[in-house]
Amino acid sequence: MEEKGKIDVEDFLNDLGEYVNPGRARVYRLMGMTNVEHKGFGSTVVDIEGKEFIDLCAGYAVINAGHRHPRILGAVQQQMEHMGLSTKTMLSAGEVELARALAEITPGDLKRSFFCATGAEAVEVALKVARMYTGRTNFVAADNGFHGKTLGALSATGGGSYRDAFEPLIPGFTHVPFDDIEAMEEAVDEQTAAVILEPIQGEAGVVIPHPDYLPRVREICDRAGALLILDEVQTGIGRTGENFACEHYGVTPDIMTLAKALSGGMIPVGAAVARSEVLEVFDANPWIHSSTTGGNALACAAATAALQVLQEEDLAGQAQRKGVRVLERLEEMARRYPEVIQEVSGKGLLAGVRFTKPAGGLMIMAELYSRGVLVIPSLMNWTVMRIAPPLNIEEERLERGLDIVEEAVEYIRPDIEDM
Ligand code: PMP
């Protein structure tokens, strides 16, 4: 094991509280989540003391190809050898290469890309483009949908606790229940610039719509002359068993937002990929929206390599196959421990476990952490724990992780029953 920097965790948490945010330090302490991450490879994370964790969360569905995938790492290292960030005054080859790769891999006539650095920024771009393209200012989004926390994206995000402190948000947003086609029909009209949805809701706790929901939303948008924005920041890049979740439903949006795993787990990058005609609104003034570091050479090198890995290793196929097994095991656990698990859901390697008590999500997360397994809560529904490992996780390792999940469920059962 290589030499590790010495960190006193107590000092570290005090400094986190003093210089960053005491609330975060308190939560980490309370949850007993006080290991300092040091090294990642594949589906393994090692802390500074050498303790190993099985990664069943992939940094919130970012590390889809595993930590430091050699091909992606190589691409970044090679780019770093000659240039880091772009001059922004000269032509940058990486951006065009990535845009072309995205045009090839995304469904239908999605072709042009605007690059930024995060998911929320990609959503901002989509909202601005939709307003310009349609000349309309209204949007329809879904309850519990998550699109990020910048002011525009937050206006689309459909949940209370992140929004309350910032009201009034951008006017013109209506939220309707997800997977309710009548509600959508009623909300969309000739004033609607766009409907923005996640094809499968991630932060809401892995909510999968009926198969005909998105096709019908597409029809409603077409009838009203509204655009359809599908936010694939979480579901894209193979996560749900197709390269993009909209492919499960045979629906092509007018604008697709991507981020998270597009970076190959290396250098953050976001993108709004649109039909050429839609992104034409930025033609007259190409700097009407811009991002200094968005789509920089390093990020593009990482993302282009990540798309190659996605295809060559059939990450979507791996997610699909392993996801069937994950769901099978979780359903078995739900049958065995009905007093603990209320229901499970999943598509590919994005699975949700809803607990019978609200505290269950955090209890299991802390318990799993102490047993060396990383999972995540759902930001819009903390009762649901999510399992979202790297898509190329070894089957044995996944089984071992799920064994530990089962042991932890069994362990917290008496506490859950007493609540
Ligand atoms: N959209 C979706 C569907 C997401 O899941 C997220 C992040 N969880 C975002 C947007 C925001 O992405 P970021 O945190 O990179 O801004």
Q: Could you state, in order of their start, the residue ranges of all structural domains in the chain?
A: 41-65+314-417, 70-312
Reply yes or no on domain 70-312 having CATH 3.40.50.2300: no
Close Cβ partners of 308 (under 8 Å, ≥ 6 residues apart): 71, 101
Which ligand 1 atom is the nearest neighbour of the CA of 118?
A: 15
- 301-324: string of b/e by CB count within 10 Å (b at 16+)? bbbbbbbbbbeebbbbebbbebbe
Same fold: 41-65+314-417 with 70-312: no
Distance (Å) from CA 99 to ligand 1 centroid: 20
Out of 234, 267, 381, give the residue to mutate to test ligand 1, the one with the largest number of ligand atoms within 8 Å of its CB.
Answer: 234
- Distance, in Å, from the CA atom of 225 to the CA atom of 239, rounded to the nearest integer, reads 30
pTM of this prediction?
0.97
Decide which of 3.10.129.10, 3.90.1150.10, 3.40.50.2000, 3.40.50.300 is the CATH code for 41-65+314-417. 3.90.1150.10
C-beta 40 within 6 A of ligand 1: no
C-alpha dihedral, 377 to 252 to 254 to 144, nearest 10°: -20
As annotated, the active-site residues are: 146, 231, 260
Out of 60, 124, 147, 379, give the residue to mutate to test ligand 1, the one with the largest number of ligand atoms within 8 Å of its CB.
Answer: 147
C-beta 234 within 6 A of ligand 1: yes
C-beta 205 within 6 A of ligand 1: no
C-beta 146 within 6 A of ligand 1: yes
C-beta 259 within 6 A of ligand 1: yes
Distance (Å) from CA 237 to ligand 1 centroid: 14
C-beta 236 within 6 A of ligand 1: no
The tens-digit pLDDT sequence of the chain (419 residues) is: 444 557 888 999 999 999 999 999 999 999 999 999 999 999 999 999 999 999 999 999 999 999 999 999 999 999 999 998 888 899 988 999 999 999 999 999 999 999 999 999 999 999 999 999 999 999 999 999 999 999 999 999 998 789 999 999 999 999 999 999 999 999 999 999 999 999 999 999 999 999 999 999 999 999 999 999 999 999 999 999 999 999 999 999 999 999 999 999 999 999 999 999 999 999 999 999 999 999 999 999 999 999 999 999 999 999 999 999 999 999 999 999 999 999 999 999 999 999 999 999 999 999 999 999 999 999 999 999 999 999 999 999 999 999 999 999 999 999 998 88
